[in-house]
Amino acid sequence: MWETIGKSVFKDQRTLSFDYVPQKLVHRESQMKRLIMLYRPVVESNFAQNAVLTGSVGTGKTATAKRFCMDLKDFAEKQQKAVDWVLVNCRQRNSESSVVLHVVNHFQPNFPDRGFSITEMLRILRKDLEKRKVHLLIVLDEADVLLRKAGSDIIYKLTRFGEEKVESKELVSLMLISQKNVYDMLDTASASTFKRTNIIEFGKYSTDELRDIVKLRAELALHDGCIDLDSVDLIAEVSSEWGDARFAIEILEKAGMLADEEIAGRISVEHVRAAKAEAYSSVTESKLAGLDKHQKLALLGIARTSKGKAYVTTGEAEGAYKVACEEYDEKPRAHTAYWGLLKDLDTLGVISAKKSGPGISGKTTVITLLDIPARVLDERIRAMLQGKQRAR
């Protein structure tokens, strides 16, 4: 069997995985420079610093933050200063205590995950930092999820925590990453420690920028000459709709795997097209997996009313949402909260909510499903909702 599989186009497929952080992030030089400017006083003058990174999906926020943190640590080491960093994914850890626990675990991997209050854990963290004489940069990735679930109290605690100096040295800096503008989600006390000027924006990548990113990642991952230039162009083209580098890299990897399956030896545009068709469904799948119950129910309502139609009105969609809530024994959210759910789904890119549309008179908001057929979506969400109920 093994002798028939042919030579792979990949020389190092690992470099296409999501947690691989390239040495250099092309077209993120200005963001990187601003990060360096903002955080250099941490190393040079023992100051704490805070910043917010925002931008839409796949614009390199997490990757840039990780690259920056690694470089910052190296830079500090060269100056005989101890700076360390820890990244917390707040989608996976969306309560105050699990965030703080993850940070404590950075120094004490076996710290018990129960039985300590947040105040106690912060005291333990302080001791660890003082003992090691280290300044810690805490990166809260997808911070909006935490702020929505748990409020901004933790931000306040962590920024104030940094202010109590030890030998005129501040201990903790923060970096918040989010697709949404988290600044407006902070209470006034925490917002006052975050300067508005410390917001670093990550714009969507243009087709040209995506082409450079794909080229770079292809060089790392593929043997020489294993991808046609046309294929690189096409990947940039199809992912430029969202300006999303993650989507581009995912297509590159899938196309490579399809080329290997055919023992083609190189990635052609046909492999890219096939990969795009497959990737659509998996991108949607990962978006759906991140939804909470009421977001799912709202989407289920939209899917049910959208069958065969380009647009539905919010009135129709909300009616169907209420029916879906009844089916799943949930109390429907009030009208204004329902609008919040629509906004979430819109931000996530599963629907688009816009004022009016063709064939609908007056100024009403209409909803369009983006890249998944209504019937397929209906089935997927029901399966997810039932799966969840069984688990409880």
Ligand X SMILES: Nc1ncnc2c1ncn2[C@@H]1O[C@H](COP(=O)(O)OP(=O)(O)OP(=O)(O)O)[C@@H](O)[C@H]1O
Binding site for ligand X (CB under 6 A): 18, 22, 25-28, 55, 57-63, 179, 213, 216-217, 245-246, 249
Please choose, out of 8-16, 61-69, 130-138, 315-323, the segment that lies near Mg ion by the rule CB under 5 A. Answer: 61-69
118: left (phi over 0), alpha (psi -120 to 50) or beta: alpha
Which residues inside 338-357 make contact with Mg ion, applying CB under 5 A? none
CA-based end-to-end distance of the chain: 44
Our measurement of the distance from residue 175's CA atom to the centroid of its chain's CA atoms, rounded to an integer in Å, reads 14
Contact 208, 236 (CB under 8 A): yes
Shortest gap between Cβ of 178 and ligand X (angstroms)? 8
Shortest gap between Cβ of 215 and ligand X (angstroms)? 10
**Contact flag: residue 62 with Mg ion (CB under 5 A):** yes
Shortest gap between Cβ of 17 and ligand X (angstroms)? 8
Provide the residue type at 349 as one letter: G
Residue 136: other Cβ atoms inside 10 A: 25
Q: Which does 234 bind (CB under 5 to 8 A by kind): Mg ion, ligand X, none?
A: none
Shortest gap between Cβ of 5 and Mg ion (angstroms)? 34
Q: Which does 211 bind (CB under 5 to 8 A by kind): ligand X, Mg ion, none?
A: none
Shortest gap between Cβ of 250 and ligand X (angstroms)? 8
Q: Which does 90 bind (CB under 5 to 8 A by kind): Mg ion, ligand X, none?
A: none
Contact 57, 178 (CB under 8 A): no
Question: Cβ closer to Mg ion: 62 or 239?
Answer: 62
Q: In angstroms, rounded to a whole number, what is the distance separating the alpha carbons of residues 16 and 252?
A: 8
Contacts of 96 (CB under 8 A, 6+ apart): 118, 146, 150, 153, 154
Question: Cβ closer to Mg ion: 213 or 232?
Answer: 213
Shortest gap between Cβ of 167 and ligand X (angstroms)? 36
Question: Cβ closer to ligand X: 297 or 350?
Answer: 350
DSSP string covering 368-391, please?
A: EE-SS-HHHHHHHHHHHHHHHHHH
Question: Cβ closer to ligand X: 60 or 332?
Answer: 60
Question: Cβ closer to ligand X: 145 or 171?
Answer: 145
**Contact flag: residue 50 with Mg ion (CB under 5 A):** no
Our measurement of the distance from residue 345's CA atom to the centroid of its chain's CA atoms, rounded to an integer in Å, reads 15
Element (H or E) spanning 313, and its range? Answer: strand 312-313
Question: Cβ closer to ligand X: 279 or 366?
Answer: 279
Question: Cβ closer to Mg ion: 62 or 305?
Answer: 62
Shortest gap between Cβ of 279 and ligand X (angstroms)? 13
47: left (phi over 0), alpha (psi -120 to 50) or beta: beta
Tell me how many degrees the CA angle 121-123-129 measures, rounded to the nearest 5.
105
Q: How many residues bind Mg ion (CB under 5 A)?
A: 1
Question: Cβ closer to Mg ion: 62 or 295?
Answer: 62
Shortest gap between Cβ of 126 and ligand X (angstroms)? 30
Shortest gap between Cβ of 14 and ligand X (angstroms)? 12
Q: How far apart, in Å, are the Cα atoms of 121 and each of 114, 127, 166, 205, 324? A: 11, 10, 18, 40, 42
Please choose, out of 54-62, 143-151, 223-231, 370-378, the segment that lies near Mg ion by the rule CB under 5 A. Answer: 54-62
Query: What is the number of helices (H) and of strands (E) in the chain?
Result: 15, 8
Q: In angstroms, rounded to a whole number, what is the distance separating the alpha carbons of residues 163 and 169?
A: 9
Q: Which does 28 bind (CB under 5 to 8 A by kind): Mg ion, ligand X, none?
A: ligand X
Q: Which does 298 bind (CB under 5 to 8 A by kind): ligand X, Mg ion, none?
A: none
Contact 32, 67 (CB under 8 A): yes
- Which residue minimizes CB distance to Mg ion? 62
Question: Cβ closer to ligand X: 172 or 210?
Answer: 210
Contact set with Mg ion (CB under 5 A): 62
